Structure 1
Amino acid sequence: MEQQNKDNQLQIELSEEIAEGIFSNLAVITHSNTEFVIDYIRVMPGMPKAKVKSRIILTPEHVKRMAIALLDNIEKYEAINGRIKIQEEGAGLPMQFGGPTAQA
């Protein structure tokens, strides 16, 4: 359980393994009346299957707070780096990999 210090600030611990992160290039979001589930997936070029690399389960309130925080960070990023361009939608997967199909 996380403990708070005298200044009422949350002490957060980040292990080396978690700090490395997990690469994801696709997210699938589902929800019920009590929770949102976000599956982070890594899709590899030429592979017909993809694995869920991480699953995060959040309350509706936390999802809304996350959406607000993400929009705020996107605005800050774009103010420094320029507009993030999104490729055309509707092509099945949100990204298209170039090059030949993998063969064994």
Structure 2
Amino acid sequence: MDNNQNQNQDPNNINIQLNEMVAAGVYCNLALVNHSPSEFVVDFIQMMPGVQQANVRSRVILAPLHAKRVMAALQQNINNYEQQFGEIKEIEPFVLGGNNVQA
């Protein structure tokens, strides 16, 4: 790539790579959120009906600013979804407890 092409590229564009294993994703029907002064930890969990053991499928650790940005992005996407498909109705209670939030 020559210098002219380098200068014309938008510095806000990021080349994101997604391998097949990550692209396949993991199913999650429970998330636990904890925080400290420096980070938020989100554990994505898969619970099977009638089984007492639940497995953490993925853990994501975020800086507070990024956690807030993820929350805003999720809220915007939920708003877009509900405009297109209708309100998402909650059937199970939302549980709060200490620093741990279950969703």
Task: Tell me how far apart the structure 2 counterparts of residues 90 and 34 of structure 1 sit (CA, whole Å).
Answer: 25
For residue 88 of structure 1, report the CA deviation from its aligned partner. 4.0
Q: TM-score, length-normalised on structure 1?
A: 0.79
Task: Tell me how far apart the structure 2 counterparts of residues 90 and 19 of structure 1 sit (CA, whole Å).
Answer: 29
Pairs within 5 Å for 1:61-100: 61-89=65-93
Task: Tell me how far apart the structure 2 counterparts of residues 60 and 14 of structure 1 sit (CA, whole Å).
Answer: 24
Structure 1 stretches of at least 4 aligned residues deviating more than 6 Å after TM superposition: none
More helix by share: 2
Q: TM-score, length-normalised on structure 2?
A: 0.80
Partner of 2:10: 7
**Percentage identity across aligned positions?**
45
For residue 89 of structure 1, report the CA deviation from its aligned partner. 1.2
Aligned equivalent of 1:35, options 35, 39, 43: 39
Aligned residue type for 2:69 = R
More strand by share: 2
Q: State the structure with bigger RCO (CA 8 A, min sep 6), 1 or 2.
A: 2
Q: Name stretches of at least 5 consecutive residues in structure 1 with no aligned partner.
A: 95-104
Task: Tell me how far apart the structure 2 counterparts of residues 25 and 48 of structure 1 sit (CA, whole Å).
Answer: 14
Aligned residue type for 2:61 = I
Q: Name stretches of at least 5 consecutive residues in structure 2 with no aligned partner.
A: 1-5, 96-101
